[in-house]
Amino acid sequence: MLTALVTGGAGFIGANFILLARKNDWLNIINLDKLTYASNLENLAELRGDRNYNFVQGDISNIELVSYLLNQYKPDVIINFAAESHVDRSIFSPQVFIQTNVVGTFNLLEASRFYWQKLSPQKQQNFRFLHISTDEVYGSLQADAAAFKEDTPYTPNSPYASSKAAADHFVRAYYHTYKLPTLTTNCSNNYGMRQFPEKLIPLTILNALDGKYLPIYGDGQNIRDWLYVIDHCEAIYLVLQQGKIGETYNIGGMNEQTNLAVVNKICGILDELVPKPNFSYSSLINFVPDRPGHDRRYAIDCSKIKHDLGWQPKENFDSGLRKTVQWYLDNSAWVNQVSTGAYQNWLKQNYENRK
């Protein structure tokens, strides 16, 4: 079994990936995570006692720590999930996005390069640096424009998207300049269990259950291409195994939805699962002032990964969303744990002036 250094594995997608990888015995894993507000070690509680899983608290920007871990654990592959990931937070406080997403990825690349150069020729050949990125680097699509392909020019619009774009460029440069065997995936909006409730879908579920208003930015007609997190994790493993070195792969759900449609669907599911007499959760919908620079539409053309690697999403949006809502209903301890004072402060900062 290969050994992977996974960064950011206590967050939403990283934790789902690690759980899937351990369940299927895909990889022996060392998880390096700084444990920011977005992380939750409870995500990985079921791995306690698993000899093929180790956790290290630390920052990907700390090149000495990363170098130490590489020499200590001698991973065959690195999968970089670690990032600041929320667009609204990047608008309030962009600096930490530069620090983690750009400087952090750069330091991780540097440490990887020095480690990789000292490996045996066989290990060097098999080594992979897989960088997880986003469709937001491609900017915003017009309603009738073709979906993003791997060669769509980068036109990032938010501080978050710009920081991810910069990181992607460094990954590309390390392949072209040093021949470090890199892979990059650019995926669309993920949804599913264990997502921190600052993002649209979990925020809507938890606000609705609390009887709080459901904030929809602008006219609610912005479009995202929703991808079930487990489909995404399977795609990542496939790219790791079979992806062509130096290439990028777009991963999408083939599932474009307006934000208003997503929120209405969640309300419909809650009306069924947690009915209240003479009340629909959709009555909590509230249109609020827009996010500055709000991208209108994202859509991924994932024909490359479909044709080259044989991947395609398995989950359909209605059943995936239902499973997601049910997970939040079944995991009130997890929800209580993330609903801290810091989270309440964030809600105040982001929504108070939008009422």
Active site residues: 135-136, 160
Cβ atoms of 139 and 156 within 8 Å: the answer is: yes
Q: Which is nearer to ligand NAD, 12 or 284 (CB)?
A: 12
Residue selected from 10, 200, 233, 269 as contacting ligand TYD according to rule CB under 6 A: 200
Residue 66 contact partner, candidates ligand NAD, ligand TYD, none, CB within 5 to 8 A by sort of partner: none
Q: How many residues does the chain have?
A: 355
CB of 208 to ligand NAD, least distance (A): 20
Q: Copy the structure tokens of residue 76.
A: 């065959």
CB of 131 to ligand NAD, least distance (A): 8
CB of 36 to ligand NAD, least distance (A): 4
Cβ atoms of 165 and 154 within 8 Å: the answer is: yes
Residue 187 contact partner, candidates ligand TYD, ligand NAD, none, CB within 5 to 8 A by sort of partner: ligand NAD
What letter would DSSP give residue 67? H
Note whether 222 binds ligand TYD by CB under 6 A. yes
CB of 278 to ligand NAD, least distance (A): 35
In the chain, the amino acid numbered 222 is N
Query: Distance between alpha carbon 226 and the CA centroid of its chain, in Å?
Result: 12
User: How far apart are the C-alpha atoms of 204 and 45, rounded to whole Å?
Assistant: 26
Counting residues that bind ligand TYD (by CB under 6 A) gives: 12
Residue 259 contact partner, candidates ligand NAD, ligand TYD, none, CB within 5 to 8 A by sort of partner: ligand TYD
Q: Which stretch binds ligand TYD (CB under 6 A): 164-172, 209-217, 233-241, 314-322?
A: 209-217
Q: Copy the structure tokens of residue 261.
A: 């449609």
Cβ atoms of 353 and 205 within 8 Å: the answer is: no
Residue 196 contact partner, candidates ligand NAD, ligand TYD, none, CB within 5 to 8 A by sort of partner: ligand NAD
Note whether 216 binds ligand TYD by CB under 6 A. yes
- By CB under 6 A, the residues from 275 to 304 that bind ligand TYD are 291
Q: Which residues contact residue 198 at a Cβ distance below 8 angstroms, ignoring those fewer than 6 apart?
A: 38, 86, 88, 89, 343, 346, 350
Q: Which residues contact residue 183 at a Cβ distance below 8 angstroms, ignoring those fewer than 6 apart?
A: 128, 129, 130, 131, 239, 240, 243, 244, 245, 246, 247, 248, 249
Q: Which is nearer to ligand TYD, 190 or 248 (CB)?
A: 190
- Return the closest-CA partner of residue 33 out of 111, 93, 95, 108: 108
User: How far apart are the C-alpha atoms of 92 and 198, rounded to whole Å?
Assistant: 14
Q: Copy the structure tokens of residue 127.
A: 């080594």
Note whether 87 binds ligand TYD by CB under 6 A. yes
State the CB neighbour count (10 A cutoff) for residue 176: 11
User: How far apart are the C-alpha atoms of 293 and 243, rounded to whole Å?
Assistant: 34
Q: How far is CA 251 from CA 30, 193, 322, in A?
A: 25, 19, 22
CB of 301 to ligand TYD, least distance (A): 18
Residue selected from 157, 189, 248, 264 as contacting ligand TYD according to rule CB under 6 A: 189
Q: Which is nearer to ligand TYD, 90 or 182 (CB)?
A: 90
**Angle made by CA atoms 23, 193, 31, in degrees to the nearest 5:** 50
Contact residues: ligand NAD, CB under 6 A: 7-8, 10-14, 32-36, 38-39, 59-61, 81-85, 100, 104, 132, 134, 164, 187, 189-190, 196
Q: Which stretch binds ligand TYD (CB under 6 A): 35-43, 216-224, 232-240, 335-343?
A: 216-224
Residues at the site binding ligand TYD, with contacts judged by CB under 6 A: 87, 189, 199-200, 203, 215-217, 222, 224, 259, 291
